[in-house]
């Protein structure tokens, strides 16, 4: 079963961190991904650029409108994600707790939909 | 059958025999498994071009042995092991029937110390003869991820100190149960696959049936092995009918029974009938017997629900689990009416193994619809649609909710 582990960041918390603390978080990601890769549970991951780099595209009446900036105007933003393939929701939760950002903000764990289904 | 497909089938059949022979001769399951994969790959490239050798099994054993000794030789740090290999290499006396080897391999790959995904991956590679790339694409994960999973599984087997022997008699039936679970897991993974990117997937259901057939040849007297094979055949017989061309799911009651695979049904029914008559009853046999009743009904309305209900009662006693209770509730509703089914379902509301599972909401919705309570049914279908992680199931459940007639139009009917 695949899960998306979403790393949400709060810019205020980020701004208040010292360079050393930031390095510790980065090192924490490497420490997190290594064993996960080894266990065969890591499917993919990415760190995302700051949302000030985003453009948002919407199509209305067939006409695309492009605006600068993120779609959702929330203070917290998605800073990165891991996709893991693991045995259970409990295991996905355990993994989320190992992500360093879980100590700063929170990690959202969401199942990935599958293209197969059972007859009812 | 093309030369390539013919070679592929032959190689997959020989894979566990060759691996068994190698492990028996040299030990080192881990290294032997890699060597056999390389030999299979070499054969898959050479045989269609140059013709199949007279003794394909011997060819594979020779090539794999050479790869194995090359590999071990190149590992300088493992000099001592190398000497052991050379010492063992001349020992060709310990020939044991292939059947035992394949069975021993199955028990090893389904070692209880491994997680189910690892058991599945290792079984498909070491016993099924599939490549890591094929297994990875079947489970929609990157090849590197699957390679790690397999290598980790092999390390763990090594760590348990397991030797290449059949489990002792005292553990035999528990270990066999795990093997059957793994085969059923492989089957279900394949059976549920439908459209879209899944079309590229290795036919896992077919592979599971092939492995279970092999298992049955090895253990012809075991009723549960036969029961599982019958269950797979009968379930798989509905494959063409269970989805529409656009990938939407068709419930059992609405399937076009004309497109069910009659040959698979005949084989499954014969197998389960013959097995029930002679063997100690078990959960797979009961599920196969239920599937057989569905398969033999000329139409959904003519289904013998009384007999299905009786079988679910036995199954519930023999192997109680909430998924059985769900199906039991459907059968009960068909015999005694939807309220009886709904009452039985209510007993699952506090069962945290299933309380938040979409199938509980889906079955409840179905029974509420049967009872004419459309508002409640709509809410339950929507709850199930929110909870499922399957796209086709979500589409099906949402369409059920949308198609229910308005409650106001027929109050109390």
pLDDT at B78: 56
| Tokens found for residue A91 | 């295991």
The DSSP output letter for A72 is S
Chain A residue with minimal CA distance to B248?
Answer: A117
Whether B393 sits inside 8 A of A1 (CB atoms) is no
Chain A residues bordering chain B (beta-carbon distance below 8 Å): 1-2, 37-44, 85, 87, 111-120
Chain-chain contact of B391 with A39 (C-beta, under 8 angstroms): no
A-to-B residue pairs, Cβ atoms closer than 8 angstroms: 90
Question: Exposed, middle or buried by CB within 10 Å (0-12, 13-18, 19+), for A48?
Answer: middle
Q: How close does chain B come to A85, measured CA to CA in Å?
A: 8
Per residue of chain B (413 residues), give pLDDT as tens.
577 778 889 999 999 999 999 999 998 899 999 999 999 999 999 999 999 999 999 999 999 999 999 888 877 555 565 555 554 444 444 455 666 789 999 999 999 999 998 999 999 999 999 999 989 988 888 999 999 999 999 999 999 988 888 999 899 999 999 999 999 999 988 766 544 444 445 588 899 999 999 999 999 999 999 999 999 999 999 988 988 888 788 999 999 999 999 999 999 999 999 999 999 999 999 999 999 999 999 999 999 999 999 999 999 999 999 999 999 999 999 999 999 999 999 999 999 989 989 999 999 999 999 999 999 999 999 999 999 998 889 999 999 999 998 755 554 44
Between CA B60 and CA B11 the distance in angstroms is 9
**How close, in Å, is residue A97 to chain B by CA atoms?**
21
- Determine the longest span between alpha carbons in chain A, in angstroms: 55
Chain B nearest-CA distance from A44, in A, is 8
Query: E strand or H helix at A93, and its extent?
Result: helix A89-98
Chain A: residue nearest B121 by CA?
Answer: A40
Q: Which of B145, B255, B390 sits opposite A40 (nearest CB)?
A: B145
The token duo for A88 is: 């259970």
In tens, the pLDDT along A34-70 reads 999 988 899 999 999 999 999 999 999 999 999 999 9
Q: How far is the alpha carbon of A39 from chain B, nearest alpha carbon, in Å?
A: 6
B394–A113: do the CB atoms touch at under 8 Å?
A: yes
- Contact call for B390 and A114, based on CB within 8 A: yes
ipTM of the complex: 0.84
Closest Cα partner for B12 from B48, B51, B57?
Answer: B57
- Flag if A115 and B196 touch (Cβ within 8 Å): yes
Shortest CA distance from B235: residue in chain A: A119
What is the rounded (10 degree) CA torsion for A51, A57, A60, A65? 100
Q: Do A37 and B148 touch (CB under 8 A)?
A: yes
Question: Do the Cβ atoms of B394 and A115 come within 8 Å?
Answer: no
**CB contact (8 A) between residue B390 and residue A117:** yes
- B391 with A43: Cβ contact below 8 A: no
* Residue B193 distance to chain A (closest CA, Å): 4
SS3 state of residue A105: coil
Closest Cα in chain A, distance from residue B370 (Å)? 14
Instruction: Decide if B390 and A37 are in contact by the 8 Å CB cutoff.
Output: no
Nearest by CB to residue B198, choosing from A43, A85, A116, is A116
């Amino acid at each position: 079963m695949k899960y998306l582990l979403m790393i949400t960041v709060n810019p205020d918390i980020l701004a208040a961190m010292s360079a050393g603390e930031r390095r510790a978080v980065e090192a924490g990601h490497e420490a997190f991904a290594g064993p996960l890769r080894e266990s065969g549970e890591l499917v993919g991951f990415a760190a995302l650029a700051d949302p000030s780099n985003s453009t948002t595209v919407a199509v209305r009446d067939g006409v695309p409108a492009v605006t600068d900036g993120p779609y959702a105007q929330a203070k917290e933003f998605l800073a990165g994600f891991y996709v893991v393939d693991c045995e259970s929701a409990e295991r996905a939760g355990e993994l989320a707790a190992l992500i360093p950002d879980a100590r700063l903000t929170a990690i959202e764990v969401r199942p990935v939909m599958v293209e197969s289904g059972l007859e009812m | 059958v093309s030369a390539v497909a013919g070679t592929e089938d032959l190689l997959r059949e020989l894979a566990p025999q060759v691996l068994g022979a190698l492990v028996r001769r040299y030990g080192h399951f881990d290294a032997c498994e890699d060597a056999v994969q390389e030999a299979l790959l070499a054969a898959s490239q050479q045989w269609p071009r140059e013709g199949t050798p007279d003794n394909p099994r011997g060819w594979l054993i020779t090539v794999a042995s050479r790869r194995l000794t090359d590999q071990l030789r190149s590992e300088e740090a493992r000099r001592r092991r190398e000497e052991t290999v050379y010492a063992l290499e001349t020992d060709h006396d310990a020939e044991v029937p292939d059947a035992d080897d394949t069975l021993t391999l199955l028990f090893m790959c389904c070692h209880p110390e491994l997680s189910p995904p690892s058991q599945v991956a290792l079984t498909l590679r070491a016993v099924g003869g599939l490549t890591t790339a094929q297994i990875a694409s079947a489970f929609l994960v990157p090849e590197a991820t699957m390679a790690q999973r397999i290598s980790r599984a092999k390390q763990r087997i090594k760590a348990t100190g397991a030797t290449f022997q059949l489990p002792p008699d005292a553990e035999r039936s528990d270990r066999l149960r795990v093997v059957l679970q793994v085969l059923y897991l492989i089957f279900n993974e394949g059976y549920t696959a439908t459209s879209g990117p899944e079309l590229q997937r290795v036919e896992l259901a077919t592979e599971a049936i092939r492995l279970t057939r092999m298992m049955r040849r090895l253990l012809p007297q075991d009723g549960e092995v036969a029961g599982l094979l019958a269950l797979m055949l009968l379930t798989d017989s509905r494959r063409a009918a269970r989805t529409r061309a656009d990938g939407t799911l068709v419930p059992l009651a609405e399937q076009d029974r004309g497109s069910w695979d009659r040959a698979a049904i005949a084989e499954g029914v014969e197998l389960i009938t013959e097995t029930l008559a002679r063997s100690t009853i078990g959960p797979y046999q009961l599920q196969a017997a239920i599937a057989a009743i569905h398969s033999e009904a000329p139409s959904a309305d003519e289904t013998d629900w009384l007999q299905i209900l009786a079988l679910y009662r036995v199954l519930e006693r023999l192997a109680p689990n909430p998924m059985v209770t769900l199906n039991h509730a459907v059968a009960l509703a068909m015999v005694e009416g939807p309220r009886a089914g709904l009452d039985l379902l209510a007993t699952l509301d506090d069962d945290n193994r299933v309380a938040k599972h979409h199938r509980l909401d889906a079955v409840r919705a179905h029974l509420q619809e049967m009872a004419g309570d459309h508002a409640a049914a709509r809410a339950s279908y929507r709850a199930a649609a929110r909870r499922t992680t399957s796209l086709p199931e979500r589409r099906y459940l949402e369409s059920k909710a949308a198609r229910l007639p308005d409650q106001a139009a027929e109050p109390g009917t």
